[in-house]
Amino acid sequence: MPVARRYAILLRTPAVPSRLAATFLSATVLGMLSLTLVLCMRQWTGSTALAGVASGLFSLGNAIGLVVQGRLLDRYPDHRVVIGAGSTCGATLLGLVAAGVARWPVGWVLLLCLLAGVSVPAVTAAVRAWLPTVLASTDLRGAAYALLAVVFQTALAAGPIIVSLCVIVTGPELALGTAALLILLVVRVHTVGSPGAAGSCAKPGGGRARPWARGLEYVLAVAAISGAGFGIVLVTLPSIEADHRQPGLSGLLLGAVALGELAGALSYGARRWPGSRRHQLATALATAAAAYGLAATLIDLTPALVAGLFLSGMAGGPVAVVLSALIDDVTGPGAVAGSYTLLVGAGLVAVAAGSAATGLVADRLPPALLLTVPGVLALVAAGFVLRRGAFASRGE
């Protein structure tokens, strides 16, 4: 099926455009809030430390809320979960603006930051669990997962840009208020269509995840290993910039990775690739390892380094899409949302762990050596994938 036709069919499927739009808006808010809370708390309290605590509490709350909402999405109609969480989040963010401007006690403001994180609606998980219920074709589902990943990543990148514009116009409070209004808009856009289109992807008391021996542990392990590798890259790039004495280089390098991920995800979803998902995943991981090796070897040559990181991103895009698709294979139809949120949560925790660990040693190890570690981790993940019995399910 031609590339344009595959994506055109997706966008003509009832409720798919509105759900993708809701995903974009919710991811934009996620991209806005961590930076916005830092800017607001620093302005309200004059303390960078408290600003960091506020951002950390928001992220902690978001991780908790993601897992809790994933379980709820498997049991109740998704529009109910999104409406409940989104309304709570929007009201909390507006309350946070009022509390900050009125100079409430810091403890109350920090509590609102935590509550805001918990209540951010898990729209991407809801859409991911809903897509298999309306797309019968395996090819279309793969394209949909790729498009969902691209929409999410693009929106995350757009969030900080909106924050910067708001700060230029009036200040960070405008960004926080804008995020609140966008969250309320998410609730409306997500539920556009008939109750059937916006309904649950699983009936209450729906199916449970298949036994972990059937592959879920491998999906989570690969997500965690890949996430740790990306966390290492995030901390290594500023060290490379310092060594090259080229201000702004780390942003260029991170942009190369991000653009590569978008290109890789779209390319993967645009056609049917040979082999099982397990072998496609192993191939993508091995390609990423080779790309990191290339980048580390040619680290002193900026164009080659940019190219190597772009290639690592191109390999990483399909990894994320295949892992998402494998959720269909290793879980029952009533456990997709919960399993997907576990997948996302495992990746987020691993990114944080990889960044923290690298931060402890970055001053003592050369960037070239650090940049080889994500490649080694990718090879380890490929070994998990190729292990006999991994992902043994209907997807093989």
How high is the mean pLDDT of the chain?
A: 84
Query: Under CATH, which architecture does the 212-386 domain have?
Result: Up-down Bundle (1.20)
Q: Classify burial at 211, counting beta carbons within 10 Å of its beta carbon; exposed 0-12, middle 13-18, buried 19 or more.
A: exposed
273: CB partners within 8 A, 6+ apart: 280
pLDDT of residue 377: 95
Would you list the domain boundaries of the chain?
A: 3-190, 212-386
Q: Among 189-203, 206-220, 371-385, name the one with the lowest average pLDDT.
A: 189-203
| pLDDT tens for each residue of 120-141 | 999 999 998 888 888 878 778 8
pTM: 0.78
* Higher-confidence position of 374 and 197: 374
| pLDDT exceeds 70 at position 195 | no
pLDDT of residue 193: 52
- Tabulate helix, strand, coil % of the chain (nearest 5): 80, 0, 20
For the packed helices 249-269 and 216-244, what is the interaxial angle rounded to 10 degrees? Answer: 150
pLDDT of residue 4: 64
Task: Please compute, for residue 120, the number of CA atoms within 13 A of its CA located in the half-sphere on the CB side.
Answer: 29
Closest to 87 in 3D by CA, of 224, 183, 154, 19: 183
pLDDT of residue 38: 83
In this chain, the answer to whether the domains covering 3-190 and 212-386 adopt an identical fold is yes
Q: Under CATH, which number does the domain 3-190 receive?
A: 1.20.1250.20
What is d(CA 325, CA 340) in angstroms, rounded to the nearest whole number?
Answer: 10
| pLDDT tens for each residue of 219-275 | 888 999 998 998 888 888 888 888 888 877 877 888 888 888 888 888 888 777 888
